[in-house]
Amino acid sequence: MGQESFLVSVIVPVFNESGNIKALVSRLLPILQKYSYEVIFVDDGSTDDTVKDIKAICKSSPNIKILSFTRNFGHQNALSAGYKYAKGDCVISIDADLQDPPELIHEMVKAWHKGYEIVYARRRSRDNDSIFKKYSAWAFYWLINTLSEVVIPSDVGDYRLLDTKVVKYLNSLPERALFLRGLVAWSGYKTTYVDFDRDIRHCGTTHYPLRKMIGFAVTGIAAFSAKPLRIVIYFGFLTACMGFLGMAYAFARRFLLPHEYWVTGWTAIFVSIMFFSGVQMLVLGVIGEYIGRIFGQVQYRPLYLVREEINIDPQVTN
């Protein structure tokens, strides 16, 4: 491909990233100057000056675009909106916090030119992350790949390049509870990796606390595996066997040793009731999670509502 024969779309989902916008643009635009490009900021209901900062940049360049949501709909829905509006021959998604270096884009585009349809930016080191962040990320990928029927690459986030055919595939999916890392991996398109060392966050704090990380993991597992339901079946069978063994033991003592003094202890009863109640709640919780996914799917509400569009081609809409 020649220098002007393809369009690079860059999607940047943002939520309260006012302190990072100018720094990101100052590093991103010099890299994109050698390409035909568009940068689509997707504002996920920011309450600070994020939208104001992006609008100021949009005035100076029609290549800078913004979609602004009516409220916070979530990072994955913001990415999905960017994919639907992007027009590029290849589409790159990147966060605004500058932990993922924009300078990697050249290598990603080179890999795409070699015929790869998915190019992941893979973290070679996470020295700037906390110990908790490192081990929780390791646990996340270990758990989801143990339970999932699709292998999801570890040490990669949402910084990746997708060929337009992959983007069209994502846009065609009817999924409501989005786990894009899994959906991209599930597609099976030709894949490669570009390694990098992760930087510290330029400004602000992470928008993915422990609560959201757990919810993200649950979404991924529920979307790509029925193994939790099978585990519940096995667990239920195991506890039922324990119950039958307990009953057999009680009957044996009663009828084979009728004269032995036997006091029924309240502790054993209390512990058994608490244990089996906990098992029942666990089973109901797992089943309820899957039912909740079905409920959300059949409602078919929109994934997001757009409040404002700037520099967006009016022909490219949901």
The pLDDT assigned to 107 comes to: 95
| Residue 147 DSSP SS3 | helix
Residues in the chain: 318
d(CA 300, CA 56): 35
Backbone angles phi, psi at 9, to 5 degrees: -100, 135
The pLDDT assigned to 267 comes to: 57
d(CA 51, CA 61): 15
What CATH code would you report for 7-224+302-310? 3.90.550.10
CA angle 256-260-262, nearest 5°?
105
The pLDDT assigned to 94 comes to: 95
The domain segmentation of the chain, as residue ranges, is 7-224+302-310, 227-299
The pLDDT assigned to 239 comes to: 72
Amino acid at 53: D
| Residue 104 DSSP SS3 | helix
DSSP category for residue 259? T
Query: Residue 19 belongs to what H/E stretch?
Result: helix 18-32
| Residue 314 DSSP SS3 | coil
On whether the CB atoms of residues 204 and 131 are closer than 8 A, the answer is no
The pLDDT assigned to 2 comes to: 46
Spatial CA neighbour of 122 closest among 66, 202, 63, 181: 181
The pLDDT assigned to 317 comes to: 44
The pLDDT assigned to 261 comes to: 57
Q: Which residues contact 202 (CB under 8 A, 6 or more apart)?
A: 19, 20, 23, 24, 97, 98, 99
- For the chain (318 residues), the mean pLDDT of every run of 10, in chain order, is 75 92 93 94 94 92 94 93 95 92 94 96 75 73 77 87 96 87 91 88 65 72 73 74 71 67 60 72 78 77 91 64
Q: How far is CA 191 from CA 9, 170, 195, 274, in A?
A: 19, 16, 13, 49
